[in-house]
Structure 1
């Protein structure tokens, strides 16, 4: 039996290794546009490779039907993944947070061992091969590049991801192939990405970083709250808390909802207590400018912008400010609202949302319900995980189930 796998990422590699281990008689040909396998694996975790997460559930995913992942997570849980890693000689380092890294702390060791496993199983890997078309002639598939045609495939797996990180040759050709075979897909959008806001002061706050509570409002309704790092940038905001909240923010933004975020600089202090603390601070140095005094609480970049938003003159002294103005400062620090207007795009996104509709794919075999012997796995499907190794784990798990199906 002859099998073609489009994409040498985590899902495709796992499918190839699993299938070939179960059936040595398979001929498996893998195709990838890059010069090496697992380019997104290499890029994950800032080069350290956040390879999985030991605390994974379907709640860590969004999409049209997040429950689609349940069977894959049950069949290929973290223990199963750990066992697979040991089988290729890879030891893992599980952090208290649930994040999992290779013990070597280096992504290259992961791709090296996967490459060796593919080689030992006689899997054919065709690199720098951009697939432009896939056809089905009678009951066989034909895979086409610009120069060559590869024929007589019994089964085909589309696992070449979506558009996040185009600098790594990421593209949405998988959706084109799916559409050609009658599949529909949900619109794609950048996920785990910085957010552009409509404020006129963005450049003034560039480089300010602080742990804050970030609240997401969709059509003025509170939808989510996340605590973590916030980094102010020239275009808006980034940082871990923003990347996390971006998933739901951008999903709603893509359907033209009104999306705002509110940043609470002091989440452990309510605005009344914060107001009292500011008032007490101002009383200690009545003849100093308020803007200078506030730098004892917030960044010296934030203080002048804060007063500008509250319509307080920068030369105002502590003994000149009134109670209403102090409350306005406290309120702003507790709920610094910004309207989200765009993202930093696919080039800066860690993952893509949207993709092939899961209602058209079998959740146990990952075979198309529309075309026999056509399979999908990984990011090309309308499933996207939270930051922290969840996306890679879904790629491994879906690839594992496909591999079992390909072997039969």
Structure 2
């Protein structure tokens, strides 16, 4: 019959496209449905349009970056590794490169070539693609799934849900996949926005927007969460903080912020130097350049704008020499240089979240096939499940690998 398929894939992002291609390679009749007018809108925007596909870590290191849920992704990576992903793109005309030795991009650093190649491969594999499709309901009637849309109903032996999470609703994220999964009795773990800038109570560092702090150390200053710590590059904004370390740390902060109005952080701008080391450094600088004022001393440790704001926090005149500063202010300065306090007070929610933390409960999905443990023929892949990783190509690799695995097992 015209509208009966071996598989209907819902969601034409990285996971859904790869699932469609993987499934179609064994002459399966595959239909790919997308809510937006074009496929892969979020993929096109990823990495600022440069498309960081994956990275060069060993598989063990890669898995470890996903924390306690890392073991779940092992089977998908075994089936479709970082090298397999590079080989796949090479086979469809896209060469990749890791110029920094870690992050892998298309050689021209443009997501457009990725989209063009994937679109052509969908066509080559005879995947039927329909866009601007609003799905009203998915149900199973005896042996076949029924996908009801505004204008017609499609039937399939198998369904792959690859709708993504809740991040960037302007790029199609609506949480539809959670609704479809719930209708089949799947449970959804609590969702939180992740991988985005954070707002701070402190606004004085807005003047430091031009300066990046490399290898800043962040930790949560709440006893219950004292083990939450991360290292990476930090950037100041008018409203708070961003940069790779903040984007990664946001997945830990947003659930805490949902419980409390504020989350206190301590940040080391000096790669973890303790008070004694900082004091010794300043004393040595004073010996070498006794005429210098305290700002000039601090500029040997930090960018001038950052040093100046720390002095403002401690209410110290930047023109004074170290010995002229009152004792209690010197003590506060050393402590603040060691660990500078910040208070996270909010974020832009899912509007600016690149990734969703939470999703379809992993206990209800077979990691070796990506098939539901509750409903035969129902598969999930990509961000819709309770898997999220840090910046650096982790999440795209997971999307491609899980999509490949979900589609492959239908062959």
Give the superposed CA RMSD.
Answer: 2.6
Alignment of 1:69-80 (within 5 A): 69-80=73-84
Task: Classify the secondary structure of the residue corresponding to 1:349.
Answer: coil
Alignment of 1:3-402 (within 5 A): 3-22=7-26, 24=27, 26-55=28-57, 56=59, 57-62=62-67, 65-145=69-149, 147-199=150-202, 201=204, 203=206, 205-217=208-220, 219-220=222-223, 221-254=225-258, 259-267=263-271, 269-279=273-283, 281=285, 284=289, 290=294, 294=298, 297-312=301-316, 318-402=322-406
Shift of 1:97: 3.8
Judged with a 3 Å threshold, the aligned counterparts in structure 2 of structure 1 residues 102 and 304 are, in CA distance, closer, same or farther, namely closer
Shift of 1:141: 1.9
For structure 2, the 5+ residue unaligned runs are none
For structure 1, the 5+ residue unaligned runs are none
Instruction: Encode CA deviations 1:112-137: one digit per residue, 9 max, x unaligned.
Output: 11100111121111112232321222
Instruction: Encode CA deviations 1:250-297: one digit per residue, 9 max, x unaligned.
Output: 3444465974332212226432232233355568566x8755765565
Shift of 1:228: 2.8
Task: Classify the secondary structure of the residue corresponding to 1:333.
Answer: helix
Shift of 1:371: 1.4
Task: Classify the secondary structure of the residue corresponding to 1:327.
Answer: helix
Q: Is the 1:202–1:235 Cα contact (8 Å) retained in structure 2?
A: no
Shift of 1:36: 2.1
Instruction: Encode CA deviations 1:22-55: one digit per residue, 9 max, x unaligned.
Output: 2x1x221111122322222211222111111231
Q: Is the 1:214–1:225 Cα contact (8 Å) retained in structure 2?
A: yes
Q: Is the 2:205–2:306 Cα contact (8 Å) retained in structure 1?
A: no
Task: Classify the secondary structure of the residue corresponding to 1:186.
Answer: coil
Shift of 1:215: 2.2
Tell me, in whole angstroms, the C-alpha distance in 1 between the residues paired with 2:255 and 2:32.
32
Instruction: Encode CA deviations 1:64-102: one digit per residue, 9 max, x unaligned.
Output: x33111111122212222332233222221345432111
**What is the TM-score with the length of structure 2 in the denominator?**
0.88
Task: Classify the secondary structure of the residue corresponding to 1:185.
Answer: coil
